[in-house]
Amino acid sequence: METSFLETLYITFKLAFITTVILFFIGLPIAVFLVFKNFRLKTFVEALIALPLVLPPTVLGFYFLIFLGKIDLAFTFEGLVIASVVYSLPFMVQPIHSALMSFPKSLIEASYTLGKSKLETFLKVVVPNIKSSIITAIVLTFAHTIGEFGVVLMVGGSIPGETKVASIAIYEEVEALNYDMANKYALILIVISFLTIFLVYLFNRRITELK
């Protein structure tokens, strides 16, 4: 039982970590593109990215199940990663998007005036000034992925050692009236989630105090 418990927690945090890393490298460019580029379907793309925020997880999970089943990725860890990346995308994009929208354009223009390239301006001027929003986006994505239930259940099921994560384990333990084990999973998720959010608030406060 102890091995199964630790294995489930390992899969949970492994999924959250991989999803967060992938979304960082996908979400940051998307946010930058949406803020600094104007194109005809911009509003449509923004709405599409935000759709998982309002769409019932089981609906998204159902269509992912159909799609991933056709490429033999349903009920696999890889399939869970793909579904989690899409489902958690707005949690990475929106905080960064909001920070970039409110970023003073005068600072960017001043950097260009000093002969800095767009990449240098972004890395040395923009990123340092929005790092609190970037960290917030990373933490929100990680925490949201840890708590996934509907999408994970539809796409991955509950295969021990492969797709069974803590949120599914809690549900199954409650169904089996094993409240002690359900409480064990739940307490760990509460502690981890609280600590990550607490550290973000602490970090952001330190940044504000230094400005």
How far apart CA 74 and CA 64 sit, in angstroms, is: 8
- 142-181 pLDDT per residue, tens: 999 998 898 999 998 888 889 999 999 999 999 999 999 9
Q: Which residue has the tokens 């240098």?
A: 120
Residue ranges of alpha helices (H) inside 147-178 are 150-156, 166-175
Residues 6+ apart with CB under 8 A from 20: 88, 92, 138, 141, 142, 145
Instruction: Kindly state which CATH superfamily the domain 2-210 is placed in.
Output: MetI-like (1.10.3720.10)
In angstroms, rounded to a whole number, what is the distance separating the alpha carbons of residues 8 and 4?
6
The residue behind tokens 């973000």 is: 200
Contact 95, 133 (CB under 8 A): yes
pLDDT over 80 (residue 211): no
The Cα 200–Cα 187 span in angstroms is: 20
Length of the chain equals: 211
Residue 76 has pLDDT above 90, yes or no: yes
Res. 187: pLDDT tops 70: yes
Residue 132: what pLDDT?
87
Average pLDDT of the chain is 90
Q: What is the CA radius of gyration of the chain?
A: 20
Stated as kind and residue range, the H or E segment containing 161 is none
| Other beta carbons less than 10 A from residue 71's beta carbon | 10
> Which has the closest alpha carbon to 100: 56, 34, 162?
34
Specify the 3-state DSSP secondary structure of 150: helix
Structure tokens at 186: 């739940």
What was the pLDDT predicted at 205?
A: 80
Rounded distance, CA 130 to CA 132, Å? 5
